[in-house]
Amino acid sequence: MSDFINDEKLETMLDEAEPTAEEIDRIIEKSLNKERLSLEETATLLQADKPEWIEKIFDGARRLKSKIYGDRVVLFAPLYIGNKCINDCEYCGFKASNQDVERNTLSEEQLRQQVKAMESQGQKRSILVYGEHPDYDADFIADTVETVYDTTEGNGEIRRVNINAAPLDVEGYKKLKDVGIGTYQIFQETYHHETYQQVHPSGPKSDFEWRLTGLDRAMEAGVDDVGIGALFGLYDWKYEVLGLLEHTIHLEDEFDVGPHTISFPRINDASGINIDDKYEVNDEEFKRLVAILRLAVPYTGMILTAREDPELRDEVMEFGVSQIDAGTRIEMEGYTHADEEQNLDKEQFEIGDTRSLEEVMYELVRDGYLPSFCTACYRLGRTGEHFMEFAIPGFIKRYCTPNAILTFKEYLEDYASQRIIDEGEKLIEEKLEEIEKEDIKTELIEKLERVEDGERDLY
Ligand code: SAM
Ligand code: SF4
């Protein structure tokens, strides 16, 4: 597998981009027609620095979001399984040389307790997170996935388990495919070779290429939902956006399917962190990068995490974020100690959004979003083809919106506070009104009644 990120090529594209108002309009139009942008077109948007150009880009991203995605937002929660680590990533509280952090791996019993605590809040989707350590090999990861699927609490169940862990070999990914993982996520952190070497001085993660090709091996093993990401703040944000796009194009070229999701975390404070602020991404730049990514890859899910504070999260959601985590606890055993303050000696980094799932749900509903815990595509085997949502006319109206409403209704029945029930039932009524096709509406009303009568997991 060849190393497909060419730093010089990406830098030159940024240098040579010459934005004009007409060109920006043309590029945004292309994106609104659901076509992925080229590297050159994306470089043009990245270099569009004038305030009126930036406004055009924000507006384009908003239009794309409402045209394609509507007001659905999928919710999930991360679960930290183990924080032992043999790497020394300069930005991470779990790095091997950090003696201040308490090292733990959840036992099976502790894992079940965390899962039950998440389920009793109403979570249905989780991403399991692991340090890189010989203890956390593919067999161990597979066992933990099985435990999560197998742990239920009342009506609660985690229906989709995603993974954020170190890259594996093909055999390792096959084991995870066999236990039914959803997405396998690996963040390249930075696509800039020199910076990569600086911030990953030792351990297996110092091998840029092994990490870069990690998702190719996942695809070869048949795990066709993969997630990419860059950690913003290590190098020039504009370069990293092009890196993410080049990675996307590579996966499309090799496997006919791009990434299922793109993540764009910014560096947050962490215990023992050693990063200068030269490339720190401010809020304005962050908004630009989210909007430009949305336009560059119109059909890919975009994940915004609780690293960001609630105000900024609200602002960038309208640029096309499709998934957020909510009720997040990232310290070990955090879901059974949910009332405790954040403690940097226990967690990987500090999070900005510490709201509970209840608060996030309430605010989403109040702001007109439709929270969704839908896992239907993955459970029906529709993986690796996520952009059929966009390619097949009417797919979202026929499947995604009704499934979002059904999973939201389950939440109202099983977990919601009175204030969410009051707002939520109104929201469902409004959404039903908006459904034009009578057959879809009738089927949905019938299923909503079945949920009221106690049935679950209808899709
Ligand atoms: N250990 C595995 C790895 O490095 O790929 C997987 C889990 S790691 C705990 C998840 C991600 O957290 C990393 O890929 C990195 O992008 C992000 N991260 C690490 N330190 C961070 C920090 N200080 N602020 C924000 N995100 C951070
Ligand atoms: Fe370990 Fe991942 Fe943290 Fe690096 S980012 S130190 S690999 S947990």
Task: Tell me the C-alpha to C-alpha distance, in Å, between residue 342 and each of 128, 266, 271.
Answer: 19, 18, 12
Identify whether the C-beta of residue 46 lies closer than 8 Å to the C-beta of residue 13: no
Check residue 339 and give its pLDDT: 65
Check residue 343 and give its pLDDT: 66
Residue with tokens 């435990």: 147
| CB atoms near residue 457 (< 10 Å) | 15
Residue 348, phi then psi, degrees to nearest 5: -70, -35
Check residue 104 and give its pLDDT: 93
Give the residue from 98, 88, 95, 31 showing the smallest Cα distance to 59: 31
Ligand 1 atom closest to residue 268's alpha carbon, by position in its atom list = 24
Q: Which residues line ligand 1 (CB under 6 A)?
A: 91-92, 129-132, 164-166, 186-187, 189, 231, 265, 267-268, 270, 273, 307, 348-349
Check residue 272 and give its pLDDT: 79
Check residue 384 and give its pLDDT: 61
Quote the ligand 2 centre to 231 CA distance (angstroms): 12
Cα–Cα distance, 162 to 78 (Å, whole number): 9
Check residue 387 and give its pLDDT: 56
Check residue 388 and give its pLDDT: 57
Q: For residue range 236-250, what is the model confidence (pLDDT) as tens digits?
A: 999 999 999 999 999
The count of residues in the chain is: 459
Q: How far is CA 267 from its chain centroid?
A: 16
Per DSSP bridges, beta strands 152-153 and 370-372 are: unpaired
Ligand 2 atom closest to residue 96's alpha carbon, by position in its atom list = 6
| Ligand 2 pocket test target in 81, 88, 95, 206 with most atoms within 8 Å of CB | 95
Residues of the chain with pLDDT under 70: 1-3, 338-346, 383-393
Give the residue from 320, 312, 263 showing the smallest Cα distance to 63: 320
Check residue 386 and give its pLDDT: 57
Quote the ligand 2 centre to 84 CA distance (angstroms): 9
Ligand 1 atom closest to residue 132's alpha carbon, by position in its atom list = 1
| Ligand 1 pocket test target in 348, 349, 350 with most atoms within 8 Å of CB | 348
Interacting residues of 221 by C-beta distance below 8 A, sequence separation 6+: 170, 171, 172, 173, 174, 177
Report the 3 state secondary structure along the chain: CCCCCCHHHHHHHHHHCCCCHHHHHHHHHHHHCCCCCCHHHHHHHHCCCCHHHHHHHHHHHHHHHHHHHCCEEEEEEEEEEECCCCCCCCCCCCCCCCCCCCCCECCHHHHHHHHHHHHCCCCCEEEEEECCCCCCCHHHHHHHHHHHHHCEECCEECCEEEEECCCCCHHHHHHHHHCCCCCEEEEEECCCHHHHHHHCCCCHHHCHHHHHCHHHHHHHCCCCCEEEEECECCCCHHHHHHHHHHHHHHHHHHHCCCCCEEECCECCCCCCCCCCCCCCCCHHHHHHHHHHHHHHCCCCEEEECCCCCHHHHHHHHCCCCCEEECCCCCCCCHHHCCCCCCCCCCCCCCCCCCCCHHHHHHHHHHCCCEEECCCHHHHCCCCCCCCHHHHCCCHHHHHHHHHHHHHHHHHHHHCCCHHHHHHHHHHHHHHHHHCCCHHHHHHHHHHHHHHHCCCCCCC
Would you say the CB of residue 56 lies under 6 angstroms from ligand 2? no
